Structure 1
Amino acid sequence: MAGDILVGSIDFGTTYSGWAVMFAHEFESEPTKGFVKTWHSGSSIITEKTPTVVLIQPGGKELEAFGYDAENRYKELIEQDEHEGYYYFQRFKMKLHKQLGDKIDLNMTLADEMGRKLPAIDVFAMAIEYLVDDMHDAIKDRMSGVIEKSEVHWVITVPAIWTDSAKQFMRKAGEQAGIDDRKLSIALEPEAASIFCRHLSVEKRVDTTNVCIASFPAGTRYMVLDAGGGTIDITVHEVQANGAVKEIQAASGGGWGGTLVDQAFEKLIIDLVGKRVYQDFKQESPDDWLDLWRDFELKKRTIKPDKETKVVMKIPESLREQYKSKFQKTFKEAVESSSYAENITFVADKMKFDAIVFRKLFDVSLTKTIQHTEILMRDPAVRQIKAILMVGGFSESPMLQDKVKSCFRGIDVIIPAEASSSILRGALIFGHSPTSVSERVLKYSYGIAMYTAFRKGEHPENRYEMTDSGPKCRDVFDKHVEKNQIVKVGETQVSQTYTPTSKNQTCIPFRIFASELRDPKYTDVGCKFIGKLEIELTDHDGDLTREINVNFTFSGTEIEVSAKDVKTGKSEKASINFLG
């Protein structure tokens, strides 16, 4: 990345997104100094990230607005009765949170809040392009000269628990947004946060444990708990002698972030008014629906485990009228006849919740997060950790902070003052210094489907196939690396050799599989197809002994494959296509 005047980072979150930049000279003097854009809601709210909301013009090709601007513009359009045909997307990033083998492809679509569909890649790309252009506009205002797009290296962060295909989808979206492939890196969110906190002084913290990750000596292990709106992402890092960190526990977690709290609140409203009334309210009064959720977001951020005062929320008249029209009962009667009657009252236009009701909205998210962390703690390697580093926007929730501190009392809990922007800031450091992470633990075993000599009695008869090079057993998993193996970032792994099976072959297709098993035998048992590549056989001569050497390299967050035709000496590099 030498020669890049500055690095820009994009944290594209489920609920909130933002960008940050840092010039090369700033990185040299103070790595944590990056500039993080602040966003204005149009009222009194100023935040370091803006809602991940995309408003697209009728026709589905042009962005109308992003973030707070998209929320406000959509409300304007509704008031003017001009919103028909516009697409309004939010919280769509979770569409990429899949299990190994679940299909992600460039043709998949996203449904907006009103059920209208567009290609997912277009929605992601429009959002990223907006953030890129917004950064260039801001830099232009701050400087007399113009920064060319070719002078910026971009880093887009993704959850560590994402599959390889989801990471590649994000790269493709970045490229469609106009970022040069050579000027784009993908960083893992918890790693970016960890890198940032390794550079932080003890003063820049909100907790009082007086523990500072930057002062940890080599060999110290700590857990990174990255709690976002969509995912909870947990990894364990060990400090290296050179100041870099190595991963000692593969990333794990799930979709247990702050949006689970939102789902619990939505369920509460539906319990009160019924699904049909809620859907009609959302469709027919989207401006009031937006107001209700903005109000809830503010209340969600401030609820505390020891809070006993009531939480008060205004209930839009349109929702109350929808309910009355359908059931011929008032909203007050709906509350009084519900299972929440003891803990919720309705007066005038306001619903008053006992604090316990709001705290219970966090139950599923907190329970799943703590249970998973407790399982991880049973691993001897994890039991040695000195601290838990809490980062990500949801880590700013007093409810989550209290739960983690109370459940793991013997371990220091560190929460940086910039918990929500620590990923953005760490991604800037990663962009300037990609070797900040030296080793990574593999989540899966990776291998290639191959033919091997058929051995009667050992191989099943239904796998028998006669080829030009003799009887073969097909679909054998040829393991390159195995689950939980530690790989050095950027270093080539063991080279494997392959030969053609047919005299007429002009290329060798390699089908790549991943498995949660350590040592799978066949690619159709416990394995998932994740991508493919083809190596052309130049100077084709039908030689069945012709050798192709193939290497896997785990370069940062993505997998590169190099192949060398031993006969001609020609080398090729290929990126695995995880998107089919």
Structure 2
Amino acid sequence: MASRPRLLVGAIDFGTAFSGWAFSFKHEYEQDPTKATVKVWNAGTLTTEKTPTCILLQPDGTFDSFGYDAENRYRGLADKNLHTEYYFFRHFKMSLFKNLGKEIKRGMEISDEMGKQFPAKDVFAMSIKYLVDDMMVTVGQRLVGELRSHEIHWVLTVPAIWSDAAKQFMREAASQAGIENEQLTIALEPEAASIYCRHLPVDATSKESKMTISNLPTGTKYMVLDAGGGTVDITVHEVQDTDTLREAKAANGGEWGGIMVDQAFKDFLRELVGENVFETFELKETEDWLYMVRDFEAKKREIRIESERFISMRFPVSLIELCEQEKRMKFPDIIASTRYAEVVEVKRDKIKMSKVVFFYMFGQSIQSTISHVKSVFNDMSLRNVNIILMVGGYSESPLLQHAVHEAFPAKKVVIPPSPSSSVLRGALIFGHKPLAVSERILRYTYGVDISLPFVEGTHPESKRFSTDEGDRCRNIFESFVTKHQIVKTGKTQVKQYFETVHKYQSRMNLSFFISEETHPQYIDEAGCTKIGDIKIHLKDPDDDANRSVTVSMEFGGTEIIVDAEDEKTGDKTRVILDFLG
């Protein structure tokens, strides 16, 4: 892969709430690494560098539209009451955010807005294909000659806190969308944003004089707060002297992004009009609901501490009518019967609410983010980190920015001009220069399930089993690398030697596990989770019960590479570690 020319790098930022693409040619990168062609999406008077991550499928499951087009098409269908036959998905990326121990399956299904099930990988693949095809139309307009597929390298961004299974799922979806495996790199979102900001002078929004991330001295550490629609990734990077970064604190975070605010808005409406009314409104008056969602999204981006005392936004008459029919009361009386009597008012098709109500919708998201950032700074090794770099679409929120400034007055808070597209732009640099991140820190201990000769008094009797060579102990956790270990990109290769346990064994199966513990003993301990399997086929099996196979795993990149070598025949193979089962 590295030997192939990369004349063009295309980046796809597949976000929970918004997605987009960008590209740069090799000669453009060499002149200015920050130079990029970024798609600008139009929705009436609104223009954005990313489009909503929503996809509309035809009743037969084929692609219809994506982004703003999908929203508009779906609203039109809803107006004619035809939308229930179609599939409309939004925020579906969160289906891949799973805590340790929760499985992501290759054939899993996800629910659309109406609750109808559809294969998840097909939804992701069609979304990626749309973004790829849309980008290539613009690339074609820029070219005089022909660009061959192997001259294009693709970068697909994912949250740093995603599991290996989620990364593999996205890689397989991209393959289904037509991107060859060798032409694809998975990039971590906060790393991509950090790389971009290292190449771009960025003004600090704090009261101090202007500063840049790009000219920080070697050894300087800074926190990257990547706040997106779904997740908030928090990591710490350290400046290296070769125009690269190293990870100084392993990525961590949670699902506290912008859609948590959206959920709080839904909860507010449910409390105001009642659960049944809201569910009916969402189902029967879909067009009005989608208009309301878009209006709320605009208000969410605008509201700030110094905003007017009351915030006004559209409130559909259809929702008022449904509520009055259900409760047999006038809507002002309905509001008066809730805890919002003094802070919410509805007139005609407008709702006026105290900005305190609006602030409350941000509360849980902001509180969770700030609390987690504080816990990271409690690490003694990070006490000298004085810079917080805020990136990601949710970082554009004035309320989140204000909260970070208030919680960390002694820190310099740096926000690039376009926080939402910094991941895209950095992904292009990462595509041209894959070794821009030199070191990473492992979040888990990685190992395999092996057996060893049984030792009386040491191994538990419940794990004893018999082989051609005597009794052995099963379910032992053999570590390849340990939690918190520093691994170098492209260099950290760990080799282990494994032997067959039976004569004429034709295949060796290895099950891989991760653990939250640094030195686990057995694979069935608390905190251990199976992440995948590899199968190694052995040619010409014989009566040797101790035939040796070398397995090497390369860590340090965004994904794990596994190679196996049969010591008897010398056969080497790159093995796919299947995280999806």
Matches within 5 A, 1:94-243: 94-202=94-202, 209=208, 210-243=210-243
In the alignment, does 2:42 pair up with 1:40? Answer: yes
Given that 1:492 and 1:551 are in contact with CA atoms closer than 8 Å, whether structure 2 keeps it comes out as no
SS at match of 1:214: coil
In the alignment, does 2:15 pair up with 1:13? Answer: yes
**1:208 positional shift:** 6.1
In the alignment, does 2:76 pair up with 1:72? Answer: no
In the alignment, does 2:53 pair up with 1:49? Answer: no
Given that 1:489 and 1:556 are in contact with CA atoms closer than 8 Å, whether structure 2 keeps it comes out as yes
Given that 1:336 and 1:345 are in contact with CA atoms closer than 8 Å, whether structure 2 keeps it comes out as no
**1:82 positional shift:** 3.0
Aligned twin of 2:485: 485
Aligned twin of 1:540: 541
Given that 2:317 and 2:348 are in contact with CA atoms closer than 8 Å, whether structure 1 keeps it comes out as no
Matches within 5 A, 1:283-432: 283-432=283-432
Partner amino acid for 2:15?
G
**1:145 positional shift:** 3.5
**1:207 positional shift:** 5.8
Matches within 5 A, 1:84-99: 84-99=84-99
In the alignment, does 2:497 pair up with 1:497? Answer: yes
**1:141 positional shift:** 2.4
1:462-512 CA-to-partner distances (Å, cap 9, x unmatched) read: 000011121100000001100000001122433111100111310110100
Measure, in 2, the Cα distance between the counterparts of 1:4 and 1:441: 28
SS at match of 2:271: helix
1:406-445 CA-to-partner distances (Å, cap 9, x unmatched) read: 1111111110001000000000000000000010000000
| Structure 1 residues 410 and 206, CA gap change in structure 2 (3 angstroms) | closer
**1:351 positional shift:** 1.1
1:368-387 CA-to-partner distances (Å, cap 9, x unmatched) read: 00111111111122222131
Given that 1:11 and 1:157 are in contact with CA atoms closer than 8 Å, whether structure 2 keeps it comes out as yes
Given that 1:218 and 1:243 are in contact with CA atoms closer than 8 Å, whether structure 2 keeps it comes out as no
**1:4 positional shift:** 2.2
SS at match of 2:419: coil
In the alignment, does 2:573 pair up with 1:572? Answer: yes
Gapped runs of 5+ residues in structure 1?
A: none
Which stretch of structure 1 is more off in the superposition, 491-500 or 398-407? 491-500
Partner amino acid for 2:365?
S
1:389-418 CA-to-partner distances (Å, cap 9, x unmatched) read: 100000000011111111111111110001
**1:555 positional shift:** 5.0
Aligned twin of 1:531: 532
1:103-128 CA-to-partner distances (Å, cap 9, x unmatched) read: 10111111000111100000000000
Measure, in 2, the Cα distance between the counterparts of 1:451 and 1:17: 46
Aligned twin of 1:519: 519
Measure, in 1, the Cα distance between the counterparts of 2:556 and 2:85: 43
Measure, in 2, the Cα distance between the counterparts of 1:523 and 1:330: 62
Which stretch of structure 1 is more off in the superposition, 72-81 or 434-443? 72-81
In the alignment, does 2:32 pair up with 1:30? Answer: yes
Partner amino acid for 1:78?
A
Moved over 4 A (4+): 205-209
Measure, in 1, the Cα distance between the counterparts of 2:206 and 2:70: 35
Measure, in 2, the Cα distance between the counterparts of 1:202 and 1:88: 38
Measure, in 1, the Cα distance between the counterparts of 2:331 and 2:576: 58
Partner amino acid for 1:569?
G
| Structure 1 residues 208 and 185, CA gap change in structure 2 (3 angstroms) | farther
Measure, in 1, the Cα distance between the counterparts of 2:34 and 2:333: 55
Measure, in 2, the Cα distance between the counterparts of 1:31 and 1:426: 9
Measure, in 1, the Cα distance between the counterparts of 2:289 and 2:500: 61
Measure, in 2, the Cα distance between the counterparts of 1:421 and 1:151: 24
Measure, in 1, the Cα distance between the counterparts of 2:369 and 2:106: 31
Q: State the percentage of identical aligned residues.
A: 48
Gapped runs of 5+ residues in structure 2?
A: none
Given that 2:447 and 2:513 are in contact with CA atoms closer than 8 Å, whether structure 1 keeps it comes out as yes
RMSD across aligned positions (CA): 1.3
1:225-274 CA-to-partner distances (Å, cap 9, x unmatched) read: 00000000001111111121010111100000011111111100000111
Measure, in 2, the Cα distance between the counterparts of 1:462 and 1:166: 34
**1:146 positional shift:** 4.2
Given that 2:245 and 2:439 are in contact with CA atoms closer than 8 Å, whether structure 1 keeps it comes out as yes
Given that 1:559 and 1:575 are in contact with CA atoms closer than 8 Å, whether structure 2 keeps it comes out as no
Aligned twin of 1:277: 277
Measure, in 2, the Cα distance between the counterparts of 1:80 and 1:143: 42
Measure, in 1, the Cα distance between the counterparts of 2:205 and 2:297: 21
In the alignment, does 2:551 pair up with 1:550? Answer: yes
1:194-239 CA-to-partner distances (Å, cap 9, x unmatched) read: 1000100246x66664121110111110110000000000011111
Given that 1:220 and 1:386 are in contact with CA atoms closer than 8 Å, whether structure 2 keeps it comes out as no
Measure, in 2, the Cα distance between the counterparts of 1:227 and 1:542: 58
Which stretch of structure 1 is more off in the superposition, 300-309 or 454-463? 300-309
SS at match of 1:124: helix
Given that 1:194 and 1:224 are in contact with CA atoms closer than 8 Å, whether structure 2 keeps it comes out as yes
SS at match of 1:235: strand
SS at match of 2:493: coil
